[in-house]
């Protein structure tokens, strides 16, 4: 899978995509993540990528030209399945969207900033709009990182234990059951005995029941 991220703040990505599972996935050649700075695609001397809103009002608006140029440049080399704009008024991300998105070969994540983006970008250049929740971030970069991380861990071969993405919370509309590790007793707080029994069938039953209980307690709407 290839993920191209278009941003006016490329440095923000230095940490998250060079660590942990995402780093390993790139090293293994399972995903290619490329960060593209929008500014060089501006044709004015100051390399600005935003301008005042027509009709007035506070806040700058991201211009269509640099974005169109950047997307056209990328499209010359790669056929994209989706060109996704990160925005708080997009479709809210959930696990089933992540599963679907992870099946794509090539995607672009476009990060918004400032007051907004020229509506013509949304009308003509992108194929999907995604929000990571009903709150407003200062830019789409953190949201693009969330999408990237959630997709990369679903790519076959990325996680060491192939089954572990499948047992994540939300994969079967249930939250994941509690997990424990050594010591079996800490300050008198004990691990459920069944998990120490070695009886795989009984442990699976316990985990299933525990997942249902946790879902009922914390997110009952998932059971609807
Ligand atoms: N950009 C700003 N806020 C956002 C959000 N909640 N989701 C996606 N992109 C955003």
C-alpha distances (whole Å) from 72 to each of 3, 77, 107, 116 are 16, 9, 14, 21
Which of residues 17 and 185 earns the better pLDDT score? 185
87 pocket-lining for ligand 1 (C-beta < 6 Å): yes
Distance, in Å, from the CA atom of 169 to the CA atom of 179, rounded to the nearest integer, reads: 12
- Taking residue 151's Cβ as centre, other Cβ atoms within 10 Å add up to 25
CA distance 121 to 130: 14
* Phi, psi for 110 (deg, rounded to 5): -100, 125
| CA of 145 relative to ligand 1 center, distance in Å | 11
Q: What is the pLDDT of residues 38-74, one digit of tens each?
A: 999 999 999 999 999 999 998 999 999 999 999 999 9
pLDDT band at 169 (very low <50, low <70, confident <90, very high): confident
Which residue from 185, 208, 212 is spatially nearest to 196, judged by alpha carbons? 185
* Residue 162 reports pLDDT greater than 60: no
Q: Is the CB of 132 under 6 A from ligand 1?
A: yes
Q: Residue 163: what pLDDT? A: 58
The DSSP string of the chain is: -EEEEEES-GGGGTTGGGSHHHHHHHHTTS-EEEEEESGGG--STT---EEEPTT--SSEEE-HHHHHHHHHHHHHH---SEEEEEEEEEEEP-HHHHHHHTT-SEEEEEEP-TTEE-HHHHHHT-SEEEESSSS--SSSHHHHHHHHHHHHTTSTTSSSSTTTTTTSTTTTSSPPPP---S-SEETTEEPPGGGGS--HHHHHHHHHHHHHHHHHHH-GGGG-
pLDDT at 115: 78
User: Quick check: 161 pLDDT over 80?
Assistant: no
Lowest mean pLDDT among 82-86, 168-172, 203-207: 168-172
35 CA to centre of ligand 1 in angstroms = 18
pLDDT of residue 206: 97
Structural domains of the chain ordered from first start? 2-152 (3.40.1280.10), 167-223 (1.10.1270.20)
The whole-chain average pLDDT of the chain stands at: 94
pTM for the whole structure: 0.92
Residue whose CA lies nearest to ligand 1 atom number 4: 88
| Residue 182, pLDDT score | 96
The alpha carbon of 141 and the centre of ligand 1 are apart by a number of angstroms equal to: 8
Give the percent of the chain with pLDDT over 90.
87
């Amino acid at each position: 899978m290839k993920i191209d991220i278009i941003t006016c703040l490329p440095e923000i990505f230095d940490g998250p995509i060079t660590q942990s599972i995402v780093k390993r996935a790139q090293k293994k050649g399972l995903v290619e993540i490329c960060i593209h700075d929008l500014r060089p695609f501006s044709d004015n001397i100051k390399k600005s990528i935003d301008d005042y809103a027509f009709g007035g009002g506070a806040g700058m608006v991201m211009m269509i030209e640099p974005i169109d140029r950047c997307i056209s440049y990328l499209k010359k080399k790669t056929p994209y399945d989706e060109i996704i704009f990160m925005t708080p008024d997009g479709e809210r991300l959930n696990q089933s969207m992540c599963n679907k998105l992870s099946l794509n070969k090539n995607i672009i994540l476009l990060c918004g900033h400032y007051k907004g983006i020229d509506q013509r970008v949304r009308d003509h250049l992108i194929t999907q709009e995604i929000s990571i929740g009903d709150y407003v971030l200062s830019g789409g970069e953190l949201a693009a990182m969330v999408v990237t991380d959630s997709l990369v861990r679903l790519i076959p071969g990325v996680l060491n234990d192939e089954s572990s993405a499948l047992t994540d919370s939300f994969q079967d509309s249930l939250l994941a059951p509690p997990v424990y590790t050594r010591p079996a007793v800490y300050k008198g707080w004990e691990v459920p005995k069944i998990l120490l029994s070695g009886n795989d069938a009984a442990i699976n039953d316990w985990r299933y029941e525990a997942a249902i209980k946790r879902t009922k307690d914390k997110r009952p709407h998932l059971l609807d």
